[in-house]
Structure 1
Amino acid sequence: MDLSVIIVNYNTKDLLKQTIDSVIKTTKNIKYEIIVSDNNSHDGSIEMMKEVFPQIKLIENNDNLGFSKGNNVAIRESKGRYVLLLNSDTVVLDNCLEQCVNYMDKHKYTGVLGCKVVLKNGELDHACRRGFPTPQASLYYMLKLNKFWPNNEKYTQYTLSHLNEDEINEVDSVMGAFMMVRREAIEKVGLLDETFFMYGEDIDWCYRIKEAGYKVVYYPKANIIHYKGASSSKKPFKTIYEFHRAMYIFYNKHYREKYSFLITILVYIGIMLKLVLTLIRNVFKRR
């Protein structure tokens, strides 16, 4: 088995069908399996899977396990040399998976591969290639200095907007919407950290895999479309909370011991202020 395609689903029935159809339609010359891990959807996703894709392995979780745990349940049952985390709100374009497998086969030190992810409006989903959110990189991002100087490496440490979006580059992290991981790397560093419910688990996995000596590569010759936020948009307050909680978890896990107490306090204050401001903006948008 070359590739195990893992799709976590939560109430995205129609998009899930579209995603699976795109994988089947565009993937011909590699041996692959698809495993859908459903987080207790109540929109007919289970019934659709059993009726339309009875040949595909379906895991029916009894609760919404979140992204990390939902993926881990499926990864444990997967058989591929590579594991692909694929969002249920994506469309895989021609030869994408085959190209990625071939690249991984030729580059043995690549532990994680991400493709070019395009939003439905045709723009690049900038989260598909990122630097690690160090305190400095996060400060520049929060102050939006990357917007004023988009080609300055100092101010684009997190967004990496100074890189050409059509060139292959080694990066710090790619996104969990499309994330191909070498089986040996998983065996070396372990599965996704289930402390993260949603958000942050992808960048944490990349951090650990890079620490283990592998490369994380952005590979724009392969492409997908991302209909972003399809399931998370159904619970905006939960989404906002988990996004900021992931910042806190990641900092505590990887950076707290590397920085002074003062920097840590400032980081905590920054996360809290950003959470409050985001919640306030969200309330006004809903009125």
Structure 2
Amino acid sequence: MVSILIQHKNGEKVLEACLRSLKENTSYKPLEVILLDNGSTDKSIEGVLEKFPWVKVIKNKKFVSLADGVNVGFGKAKGAYLMWLNNDTLMEKGWLEELVTALESKKEVAAVSPVILPMDAEPKKEARTYVEKISLIGACILINRRAWERVGGFDGENFKPAYGEENDWCYRARNAGFKLLEVRSSQVWHLGSYTAEKIVKQRYLLENTHRLKAMLYNLKLPDLIRFVPGLTLIFLNSLRQGSTFFLLQSYWENLKNIKTIFAERKHRLG
């Protein structure tokens, strides 16, 4: 069984579009879909229950970190395969079958993800190709329960309220000897940070602070060096976008906590 967990906080239209796409494009069985209402204040959940009665709902009265929300949802899931799916995604036919096939391809595969496309992108016909990755994108990630239980859950303490938790888990999985695959024959469209769109600056700061923290916690020197070109590109893009101040602030947030970060790194890597 595949258990799909969708976290949600407000916004009926985006959630309804996601669930409709999921229903129309997913034929894999057995399947359970769990909706974690993470502190919604509108009536979006009630509307969903009327239109999609096959969805199981877990309600949090107040918002918890995304990582803790996933841990709660996965703890109640029945499937041997566990998916974290964003509420602002759309799918193509056969997307899940391709992901399951990849996850079952080798015992050492801990998790897989599809190609994540922006909403305005045209679908691309791709052969069944698997690309090994250092980390996967949390918008849609399918995890083998066996790997989940061995690696442990998402870190809700160090990555609250959001961002970087999927990178941290992926790095930990690789350090435990597992592999991560991007499945080129599976595609999912992602609107992107729907619930955080009104706090763009805070989101940008959190994203970069937490993703750098995840690297420092988990990556050995060769992997850190591999990220240098990407970090350089992020810096150059920040100059173009006018967000350099917030990027530098994210560096400072980690620098001022460097002793704590190195202590955690030593605990994890030895």
Q: TM-score range by the shorter chain?
A: 0.7 to 0.9
Q: Tell me the equivalent position of 1:243.
A: 207
Please state how far the C-alpha of 1:5 moved relative to its aligned partner.
0.3
Q: Tell me the equivalent position of 2:268.
A: none
Please state how far the C-alpha of 1:53 moved relative to its aligned partner.
2.2
- How many angstroms apart in 2 are the aligned matches of 1:68 and 1:17? 23
Note closer, same or farther for the CA distance 1:116–1:190 as it changes in structure 2 (3 Å cut): same
The range that moved more, 39-48 or 76-85, is: 39-48
Please state how far the C-alpha of 1:183 moved relative to its aligned partner.
0.4
Please state how far the C-alpha of 1:120 moved relative to its aligned partner.
1.3
8 Å CA contact retained: 1:19, 1:91: yes
Amino acid at match of 1:55: W
User: Per-residue displacement from partner, 1:178-206 (whole Å, max 9, x unpaired)?
Assistant: 10111000000111110212111111111
TM-score (norm 2): 0.76
User: Per-residue displacement from partner, 1:254-284 (whole Å, max 9, x unpaired)?
Assistant: 25999xxxxxxxx9xx99xx7xx628689xx
- Secondary structure of the 2:39 match is coil
Q: Does 1:95 align with 2:94?
A: yes
Q: How does 1:96-115 map to 2 (within 5 A)?
A: 96-115=95-114
Q: Tell me the equivalent position of 1:135.
A: none
Amino acid at match of 2:143: V
Q: Paired residue for 1:189, among 129, 137, 151?
A: 151
Q: Tell me the equivalent position of 1:216.
A: 180
8 Å CA contact retained: 1:39, 1:64: yes
- Secondary structure of the 1:76 match is helix
8 Å CA contact retained: 2:10, 2:40: yes
8 Å CA contact retained: 1:12, 1:88: no
Q: Paired residue for 2:197, among 225, 233, 239?
A: 233
Q: Tell me the equivalent position of 2:243.
A: 278
**Structure 1 stretches of 5 or more lacking a match?**
125-163, 259-266, 283-287
The range that moved more, 245-254 or 193-202, is: 245-254
Q: Does 1:119 align with 2:125?
A: no
Q: Tell me the equivalent position of 2:142.
A: 180
Please state how far the C-alpha of 1:26 moved relative to its aligned partner.
1.5
RMSD between aligned alpha carbons?
2.9
- How many angstroms apart in 2 are the aligned matches of 1:120 and 1:173? 22
Number of equivalences: 230
Q: Does 1:26 align with 2:25?
A: yes
8 Å CA contact retained: 1:240, 1:279: no
TM-score (norm 1): 0.72
Note closer, same or farther for the CA distance 1:252–1:173 as it changes in structure 2 (3 Å cut): closer
Please state how far the C-alpha of 1:111 moved relative to its aligned partner.
0.7
8 Å CA contact retained: 1:3, 1:84: yes
Note closer, same or farther for the CA distance 1:123–1:211 as it changes in structure 2 (3 Å cut): farther
- How many angstroms apart in 1 are the aligned matches of 2:98 and 2:128? 15
8 Å CA contact retained: 2:154, 2:165: yes
8 Å CA contact retained: 1:38, 1:70: no
Please state how far the C-alpha of 1:63 moved relative to its aligned partner.
1.4
Note closer, same or farther for the CA distance 1:190–1:171 as it changes in structure 2 (3 Å cut): same
Amino acid at match of 1:278: S
Note closer, same or farther for the CA distance 1:168–1:255 as it changes in structure 2 (3 Å cut): closer
- Secondary structure of the 1:244 match is helix
User: Per-residue displacement from partner, 1:182-234 (whole Å, max 9, x unpaired)?
Assistant: 10000001111102121111111111111111110010101111111211112
8 Å CA contact retained: 1:11, 1:45: yes
Note closer, same or farther for the CA distance 1:68–1:98 as it changes in structure 2 (3 Å cut): same
**Structure 2 stretches of 5 or more lacking a match?**
223-230, 248-270
8 Å CA contact retained: 1:113, 1:174: yes
